[in-house]
Chains A and B, each alone.
Chain A
C-alpha cells in the first residue's frame, strides 16, 4: 500500500533535479543542435538520460508474481487485540488488523474509483471509473530474499488490479474518448505487484520503491490512529519524495473500523471501510494520450471495504475483474 510514503522535512530543499538547471539543459540542447558539437550533444544526452531515469512512472511496475510468492508461510501475530495504540509495537499490530489481519488469512479490498483529469488554467473532466482490488497476504519474510530483519517482521505480498470503466455507466468498455484532450483511449487494465516489509516497531519498507518508504527496521514509528466516536481511524499518506516531472505526486488513505472490533482479540477478521485519494501526472497511463511533456494530472478517489473470502467480493468485481485475473485470488 502506498500508505507510508516518505515526506520531505519542513522547508527542506529536496535534493536531486534542479528545475532551473533542467531549463538550462533544455536550452543548451537547442544550442547544441546549432553548434553541432558532438561533445556538447553527448553531455546533454547524458544529462537528459539521467533526468529520464529519475522520472517515476507507476506504469512500469511488475505486473505479476511469477515464483509462487503468495505461498510462503503466513504471518501470525502474537497479540490479537487490546492494543495500546500509543505503544509502537501494539500500534503496528492495530494497524495491521485494521488494514489486513493478524491470523495469516488472505485479505481482499475491492473498491470503486472515480478519476478526474485536472489541468492548469482550464477545466478538466471526469475521465474514467474503475473497479479495483487489493489482494494481500502477510508472510514470514525469507532471509534469503530480504536479508536479515528484526524478528517479528512481516512481508506483505500485494497485488493491485483495476479495470477501467465508462464513468457514465460504471461498466467496462474497451475504448473511450478522453473528454479533455479528445483522444480515443484503448483502456488497459492496471495490474501490479509489490512487497512491503513491516517492522515490529512500526517502520516499513516498500521493497521495490524505497523512495516511498524506507524506515530504519529497528526504529520505533507510530502510525496515526485516532479514535473518532465509536471508530478508530488510521490516516496514512504523503508525497512521493523525489523531485521530477512526475510531481505533483501524492496519496492519502483513511481506514475506519469499529474500535470494539479492533480491540476484541476474539474478532480476528473485522470489517473496515477504506477511502483513498491519489494524484499523479496523466502521462503515467500512456494510453490516455499524454506524454511526459504534458502537465495534465490524473486524480483518483476510491472507496472500498475489506473482506477475507473470495465469496465476499461483490459480484460486480467478480464479473469485471476477477474473471479476467484469476491469479488475484
Chain B
C-alpha cells in the first residue's frame, strides 16, 4: 500500500481485504444505486395489491454480477440519438431524450458519475448511527440494443451498460481504512468494496427495463410513460424513483434520485457533453452487507445519501476516485 497523499488530501490506504472469496460470503451494500439512476416514479403494483404477502426469499444485492466478462462496454454499437436538443418536455419521446442527455449523453460517449456518500443505520425503538462513508463511480455506455440479445424491443431503444464501483471509508474522516466500528453493535466491520454490473433498456416512449432485476423497473416497451423532467429556474430537474416490488424481508427497499442540469445546456443541440449534479438516496436492510454484522432477521436498515456529478472524460474524475477506484478497477474506465 502507498502512503503518499493525492491532491484531495486523502491517504490512499486502500483496503487489502477484499478477496473475492470473502466478498462472496459477505453481504451487500445499498445496492440500490444503479436503479436509482433510472426507474420511473410511482407506487409499485405490489404495494397497491390487497392480497400482497411477504415473500420467502430475501433479495440481496450483494449477489449481483461483479464484472462484465465479454467486453460488453466496448463491443456494442454506441447509441446516438436522432435529436440533440430543443426538447419538448411535454412529449414522452423528447422527454426521454432530455432525460438521457441529463444523466448520460446522446452522442455515444462514455459517461462517468463519481460521487461521495455516507450511510446511516436506523432501527426500531433505538438510535442508529453513521455507518460508513464511500467514494463511488458509475461508468455508463449507451449502446444500440442488439435484437439478438434483447428481442422485441422497439427501434430506438438504448441499452445502458452500467458498472458501479464503490470503496467504503471511515465516515468520520472520509479516509480509507480497513475497518470501522459499527455504531449499533460496537463491533469492528471489515469494509468490503462493492462492485457490480447491470443493464438497462431505455425505451423510446419513456419506459425503462432493468434487465437483471425487473422487480425494480419493468415497463411495457411500447407504452408511453412520461419521464419526470421539469424546468426549475435556470435548471432542468429529473426525478427517478425505484421501489423494489417483491415483498420480503429486504423491505423497506427503494431508491430515489434527483438530477439537476442547466436547462440552456440541455436544450442546446450543439452542446452534447454537459455536466449534471446527481443526488441519490438508497434504503435497504443492513443484512445485505453481512460484513456489517447484521443478519436477515434483524430490522436494521441503512440509508445512503450520495452526491455526485456527471462527467465524460477520465480527466474530469477527481484524483480521489482515480486513486481509490480506477487504479484498483481499471476496467471501470
CB neighbours of A243 from chain B (8 A) = 125-127
CB neighbours of B260 from chain A (8 A) = 273, 303
Chain A 117-147 interface residues, beta-carbon cutoff 8 Å to B: 118-127, 129
Chain A 247-270 interface residues, beta-carbon cutoff 8 Å to B: 247-254, 256
Q: How large is the interface on A (under 10, 10 to 19, 20 to 34, 35 or more residues)?
A: 35 or more
Does B122 contact A123, Cβ atoms closer than 8 Å? no
Binds B, one of A88-96, A99-107, A200-208, A233-241: A233-241
Does B122 contact A249, Cβ atoms closer than 8 Å? yes
* B320 interfacial by beta-carbon distance below 8 Å: yes
- Tell me the minimal C-beta distance from A290 to chain B in angstroms: 14
Does A316 contact B252, Cβ atoms closer than 8 Å? no
Given the known A-B contacts A19-B125, A237-B120, A249-B122, are A126 and B42 also in contact in the complex, defined by CB atoms under 8 Å? yes
- Tell me the minimal C-beta distance from A297 to chain B in angstroms: 6
Q: What residues of chain A have their CB less than 8 Å away from a CB belonging to chain B?
A: 7-8, 10-12, 14, 17, 19, 22, 112, 114, 116, 118-127, 129, 167-168, 170, 179-180, 224, 226-229, 233, 235, 237-245, 247-254, 256, 273, 275-277, 279, 295, 297, 299-303, 314-316
Does B258 contact A247, Cβ atoms closer than 8 Å? no
How many contacting A-B pairs (Cβ < 8 A)? 234
Q: What residues of chain B have their CB less than 8 Å away from a CB belonging to chain A?
A: 7-9, 41-44, 46-48, 52, 54, 116, 118, 120-130, 133, 171-174, 181-187, 228, 230, 232-233, 235, 237, 239, 241, 243-249, 251-254, 256-258, 260, 277, 279-281, 283, 299, 301, 303-305, 307, 318-320
Top-4 shortest CB links A-B: A11-B186, A248-B122, A118-B252, A125-B43
CB neighbours of B116 from chain A (8 A) = 226, 228, 233, 235, 254
Cα-based distance from A238 to B305 in the complex (angstroms): 12
**Can you give 25 A-B contacts (C-beta < 8 A)?**
A7-B130, A8-B127, A12-B186, A19-B125, A112-B258, A120-B299, A122-B46, A122-B247, A170-B228, A170-B239, A179-B47, A179-B48, A229-B318, A235-B116, A235-B174, A237-B130, A239-B130, A244-B125, A247-B128, A254-B118, A277-B120, A279-B122, A299-B281, A302-B258, A303-B237
Q: Which residue of B lies closest to A238 (CB)?
A: B130
- Tell me the minimal C-beta distance from A285 to chain B in angstroms: 17
Cα-based distance from A17 to B124 in the complex (angstroms): 12
Does B44 contact A226, Cβ atoms closer than 8 Å? no
Cα-based distance from A112 to B238 in the complex (angstroms): 11
CB neighbours of B281 from chain A (8 A) = 277, 299-301
- Tell me the minimal C-beta distance from B7 to chain A in angstroms: 8
Q: Which residue of B lies closest to A114 (CB)?
A: B256
Given the known A-B contacts A7-B130, A229-B318, A249-B122, are A314 and B186 also in contact in the complex, defined by CB atoms under 8 Å? no
CB neighbours of B123 from chain A (8 A) = 247-248
Of B118, B172, B245, B299, most buried by chain A (CB within 10 Å of CB) is B118
Cα-based distance from A228 to B118 in the complex (angstroms): 14
Given the known A-B contacts A170-B230, A301-B279, A303-B277, are A123 and B247 also in contact in the complex, defined by CB atoms under 8 Å? yes
- Tell me the minimal C-beta distance from A316 to chain B in angstroms: 6
- CB < 8 Å neighbour of B279 from A122, A125, A303: A303
Does A168 contact B127, Cβ atoms closer than 8 Å? no
Does B185 contact A17, Cβ atoms closer than 8 Å? no
CB neighbours of B232 from chain A (8 A) = 112, 314, 316
CB neighbours of A297 from chain B (8 A) = 252
Cα-based distance from A279 to B300 in the complex (angstroms): 13
Does A247 contact B283, Cβ atoms closer than 8 Å? no
- Tell me the minimal C-beta distance from A201 to chain B in angstroms: 18
